Amino acid sequence: MRHPNWQKINTLPVSTIQVEERLRTASPTAVASIVSSIQEVGRILQPLLVRKVKDGYRLMDGLHRLCAAKEVGLEEIPVSVSDCTLDQAIRTEVDANVAGAPLSVLDMAVFLSAHKALYEKDHPEAKRAFKANQAGAEIVLAKCQYNHLQPTHLTFSTKANGKFIA
């Protein structure tokens, strides 16, 4: 797998950054918090991650910062530009959001589903192995319910040979 090539940090006009193919929408609460920060500090502290596309630049990470910049009327915004593929852009969005602020259960499911699809695309053998383990997972979950354990305390680990572990 080729890693994205990142250029040094630049600024771009806010109006030139396209927002398409996002896995989630902006939270008004998060945007309001960033607006307050911009008004207090006077600028965006963390650059957006964008990728170069034929007709401009497309956002990969930083939707809340971009929305806040528009709301306070910033003309330009700091960015880090990549020439990555669409799959790499999705992976960047997933990784940035899963590692960042707490996500709702629905958002976490969306991001993990996207991550799983990309992983299976890079490693088709994983998809076959997962299907073979589905029956085992159903047995583990049934045991959890019987023993009054919470299934949320289980993780699926490739290090444990594809078994569920507590």
* pLDDT tier for residue 14 given thresholds of 50, 70 and 90: very high
Task: For residues 38 and 99, state if they share a domain.
Answer: yes
Three-state SS string across 10-77, please? EEEEHHHEECCCCCCCCCHHHHHHHHHHHHHHCCCCCCEEEEEECCEEEEEECHHHHHHHHHHCCCEE
Question: Is 67 among the domain residues?
Answer: yes
Domain interval for residue 16: 6-122
- Higher-pLDDT residue of 142 and 116 is 116
C-beta separation of 74 from 35 below 8 A: no
Residues 154, 25: Cα–Cα separation, whole Å: 29
Task: For residues 92 and 12, state if they share a domain.
Answer: yes
Write down the mean pLDDT value for the chain. Answer: 75
How many structural domains are present in the chain? 2
Q: Is 50 exceeded by the pLDDT of residue 55?
A: yes
62: domain CATH number?
3.90.1530.10
Report the pLDDT averaged over residues 8-14.
86
Task: For residues 145 and 89, state if they share a domain.
Answer: no
Task: For residues 51 and 115, state if they share a domain.
Answer: yes
Instruction: Supply 58's token pair.
Output: 């497309």
- Higher-pLDDT residue of 120 and 76 is 76
C-beta separation of 134 from 120 below 8 A: no
Residues 91, 96: Cα–Cα separation, whole Å: 8
Task: For residues 22 and 99, state if they share a domain.
Answer: yes
Task: For residues 15 and 47, state if they share a domain.
Answer: yes
Check residue 35 and give its pLDDT. Answer: 94
